[in-house]
Structures are given as C-alpha cells and as structure tokens.
Amino acid sequence: MDDSHHSASKGSVLFSMGKPPRLILAVILLTIVASGFLGYFGVRAMIGATNEQLVKNNPIHQTVTFHRISRGQLSGYDRSANLIINNRVDWLRAWDQTFCHTLIPCPATPEVDFSQRTVLAVFLGQRGSTGYEVKVIRATMDDSKTTVDLTLTVPGRSCTTGATMTYPYDMVDIPRTNGPVSFTIQTQTFNC
C-alpha cells in the first residue's frame, strides 16, 4: 500500500472525527465574527431606516388653535365650497360674496394678517329648510398638510323646520399654511 495514499486517508479520518486543521478553524471563526459584525450593523441600519420611514409615513399631527371669524345660516354661496384664503384680494372677494349680496349694508371685512394667518371658509350651499349647520371643530397640521374636521348638523325627521332657504357657513383663521388642506365632514342628526 502506498504511504501517501495512506496519510491522505488518515487525514480524512482525523477530520471526520472532529480534528480539522487550524487553518480551517481560523477561517470558520473569522467568518462567524465577520457575519456577526456585519449582521449587527446591517440590522441597525435597517432599524434606523424603518424608524425614519415610520416618522415620514406617520407624521405627528399638531392641533392648531383657530379663531372663528363668522358662522351662520345666510351666505351668498348657493353651492357648497371650501375656500383656503391666503391673501387680501381673495378675502375681500369671499367676504363680498358671503355677505354683500345678502345683507344691506354690507358688514365691514375683518382684518386678517395674511403673513401669519390663513382663512378657511366652509359653505354648505343652499338647503331647503332651517335646521342645518356646519361648524369647524378641529384643525390639525403636520409637515405636509392641514386637515380640518367639520360637523354637519341636519334636522331629524321629527323636527319641525322652517320652510326657508338657508345657506350655512363657517369661517375661521388658522396659522398660515401654503400646503394642501383637506376637509373631513362628520354628519350628526339633531333629533327634536
């Protein structure tokens, strides 16, 4: 029997019995250490990216204080409209449309500092009776948009309402925004 064949066979037997050469052990150990190191920092990077995405996708909504300018049942808007007003010209036009076609004399337009404030005007349009109201109840802002929550009150079936056309509206101002504004309406029925 050839001696070199015998020693190779003997080395194979030694390896299979759990005694691998030191070089192989060193490579395995380095691989484990390197994969643990990279795995740890790779997971940390993924966690950081995930948190950043969560913050971006779920921004914190900040409730903002608003000031009511006017609210009532008679406006000059016979169709529903939601206005976002950021300048004096549009404000004068909206005020004129709201009041100067329905009231004589036309009330003076309230002063608004449009460098600091935005006016939001909500009009329900024409309603066939009394008993309808619209009211801004909350405004929230995040880094990308403003959301305005409204309550629409409608008369219940058992309510006696006047057969008078109404044009409900609400006007508020909020801290200035140049971003998009969305309006959400929750309807509630007033039961008499």
**pLDDT of the residue at 15:** 44
Amino acid code (one letter) for 23:
L
The answer to whether residues 18 and 94 belong to one domain is no
Cβ contact 78:125 at 8 Å: yes
Measured CA angle at 126 (ends 101, 184), to 5 deg: 110
Tell me how many domains the chain contains: 2
- Sort strands 117-123 and 146-155 into parallel, antiparallel or unpaired: unpaired
CA distances to 42, 45, 151 from 50, rounded to whole Å, are 12, 9, 36
For the record, the structure tokens of 87 come out as 């300048």
Q: Are residues 67 and 45 in the same domain?
A: no
Q: Does 18 score more than 60 pLDDT?
A: no
For 43-86, write each residue's pLDDT tens digit: 344 344 343 443 445 557 799 999 999 999 999 999 999 999 99
pLDDT on residue 10: 45
The parent domain of residue 17 ranges over 3-57
- Contact yes or no for 186/152 (Cβ under 8 A): yes
Domain limit, last residue, from 42, 57, 72: 57
pLDDT at 144: 86
Q: Do 180 and 95 have their domain in common?
A: yes
Q: From CA 147, how far away is CA 66, in angstroms rounded?
A: 12
More confident residue, 144 or 182: 182
pLDDT score, position 8: 44
Q: Enumerate helices (H) and strands (E) in the chain, giving the number of each.
A: 3, 8
Using CB atoms within 10 A of its CB, is residue 167 exposed (0-12), middle (13-18) or buried (19+)? buried
* One domain, residues 161 and 84: yes
Considering the domain architecture, whether residues 29 and 105 belong to the same structural domain is answered as: no
Q: Give the pair of three-digit tokens for residue 122.
A: 């909500």
Do 49 and 106 fall within a single domain? no
**8 A C-beta contact, residue 181 and residue 149:** no
- How confident is the model over 14-20, as a mean pLDDT? 49
Give the domain-ending residue among 17, 40, 57: 57
Based on the domain organization, do 52 and 68 belong to the same domain?
A: no
Residues in the chain: 192
| 120 & 32 share domain | no
96, 173: one domain? yes
Phi-psi bin for 144: left (phi > 0), alpha (psi -120 to 50), beta?
alpha
21 falls in which pLDDT band (50, 70, 90)?
low
pLDDT in tens, 142-175: 988 999 999 999 999 888 888 899 999 999 999 9
Instruction: Answer whether 0.75 is exceeded by the pTM.
Output: no
Residue 179 scores a pLDDT above 70: yes
